[in-house]
Structure 1
Amino acid sequence: MSTVRRTQQERSAATRAKLLEAAYASLLERGYGATTVGEVQQRAGVARGTLLHHFPTRGSLMAGVVEDVVERRLRVLTAPGPDAGSAAASWGEMVDLVWDELRQPPFAVALELWVAARTDPDLRQALLPLQERIYGTVHRSVTRLAGDDHPRAPMLVQFTIDLLTGSHLAGILRPRAGTSAVVEAWKVAVQELARREA
């Protein structure tokens, strides 16, 4: 039985993916401050030279993680839109989609990177264009779910993302009583706000 040998390009891509996975796991478990080049090297089980070949600096490694996190968040958020002629999802389903995504690990890692980027100019430069990409994609995905033709959809989607992000962040250190009631109340409110004028 012959073994299929991977090309150099395939091996390189696999090593890069392993390094990004190790950095992602470290950010999730230990935070930005503890996610050093040495920590990622040890988690990935590669030689230091191998890591430096793919990511010469910590900044370049974190930039790679930013791109990876964008892809992870989009996998959670990008729900197939309604088929032509079918009814749009309810506003309550749209609220659930956003709320569920905010409580997934990719958002926690993104939060680590956003906070670090406030004082790290290189990370901020890497994060800015990707942030615009994810915001744009989130808006399009969620707006499509709610119904592209609704005149208030962009505004209500923005309200939903901002309100739920704030509610989630307020409970990061300790879960707050009443947060689920806020989410349920917003479902009712957004349905009312979305009602078309006669």
Structure 2
Amino acid sequence: MSGPARRSQQERAATTRARILEAAFSCLVDSGYGATTVGAVQERAGVARGTLLHHFPTRSALMAGVVEDVVERRLVVLTAAPTSGAPSDGWDAVVDLVWRELRGPAYAAALELWIAARTDDDLRRALVPLQERLFASVHGRITALVGADHPRAPLLVQFTIDLLTGSHLAGILQPRAGTDVVVDAWKAALRVLAAAQEPLT
């Protein structure tokens, strides 16, 4: 009887790369961008330094890989079907979708990268095109929820993202009382704004 099939070198390399990216993601979430060094990621991943440098020769290369990984993680949430018990369509589902993603670990990691990218040209170059892909996917997902022909959809989507992002950021250092009330109030306001069919100008 033959034993288990041996993994190819390509499969082993892909597994190692994923392990390194998982370690880098965890470092970002737990300790922040400044502490996500090559050494810290190497230790958390449990790989030799030479192995890590084979996949990511510099910290910039590692961070570029993490940017792509974080965007993929956010897309998993933002393009997922509504969870059991959640509204399956409409503007309430839009708010729930954005709010759920903002409170997840992938957004926490993305926030660390955004702040660092303000003064890191290499990181910004890696982040911008992937961020555009993220925005396009979000708008596509929301269009599926509210209808492609809604004349106010683009602006109301932007309102929703900006308002909920601000509410979330305001409570990062210390949870704020009343945030859930703000989210529910925006749902009510959004239904009113969306009911009118003419574009907002």
What is the CA distance between 1:179 and its match in structure 2? 1.1
Cα distance in 2 between the residues matched to 1:187 and 1:129:
31
Which residue of the partner structure matches residue 171 of structure 1?
Answer: 171
Which residue of the partner structure matches residue 128 of structure 2?
Answer: 128
The answer on 1:112 being equivalent to 2:112 is yes
Contact 1:117 1:124 survives alignment (8 Å): yes
Cα distance in 2 between the residues matched to 1:3 and 1:140:
43
Cα distance in 2 between the residues matched to 1:33 and 1:26:
10
Cα distance in 1 between the residues matched to 2:123 and 2:150:
37
Q: Deviations over 1:121-172 (max 9, x none)?
A: 1111111111111111111112221222211111111110111011101111
| 1:43-122 correspondence to structure 2 within 5 Å | 43-80=44-81, 89-122=89-122
Which residue of the partner structure matches residue 84 of structure 1?
Answer: none
Which residue of the partner structure matches residue 85 of structure 1?
Answer: none
What is the CA distance between 1:79 and its match in structure 2? 3.1
Cα distance in 1 between the residues matched to 2:81 and 2:149:
16
Contact 2:150 2:197 survives alignment (8 Å): no
Cα distance in 1 between the residues matched to 2:101 and 2:146:
16
What is the CA distance between 1:197 and its match in structure 2? 4.3
Q: Percent identical across equivalent pairs? A: 69
Which residue of the partner structure matches residue 18 of structure 1?
Answer: 19
Q: Indicate how the Cα distance of structure 1 residues 197 and 140 shifts in structure 2: closer, same or farther if over 3 A, else same.
A: closer
Cα distance in 1 between the residues matched to 2:80 and 2:142:
8
Gaps of 5+ in 1: 82-87
**Equivalenced residues, count:** 193
What is the CA distance between 1:196 and its match in structure 2? 3.2
Cα distance in 2 between the residues matched to 1:176 and 1:78:
28
Cα distance in 1 between the residues matched to 2:49 and 2:81:
41
Cα distance in 2 between the residues matched to 1:106 and 1:4:
34
Q: Deviations over 1:86-122 (max 9, x none)?
A: xx71211211111111001000000000001111111
Contact 1:139 1:158 survives alignment (8 Å): no
- CA root-mean-square deviation: 1.7
Q: Which moved more, 1:48-57 or 1:174-183?
A: 174-183
| 1:34-45 correspondence to structure 2 within 5 Å | 34-45=35-46
Contact 2:98 2:161 survives alignment (8 Å): yes
Q: Deviations over 1:155-194 (max 9, x none)?
A: 1111101110111011110111111111111000000000
Cα distance in 2 between the residues matched to 1:79 and 1:26:
25
Contact 2:151 2:197 survives alignment (8 Å): no
Contact 1:89 1:147 survives alignment (8 Å): no
Determine helix, strand or coil for the equivalent of 2:101.
helix
Which residue of the partner structure matches residue 158 of structure 2?
Answer: 158
Gaps of 5+ in 2: 83-87
Cα distance in 1 between the residues matched to 2:128 and 2:94:
26
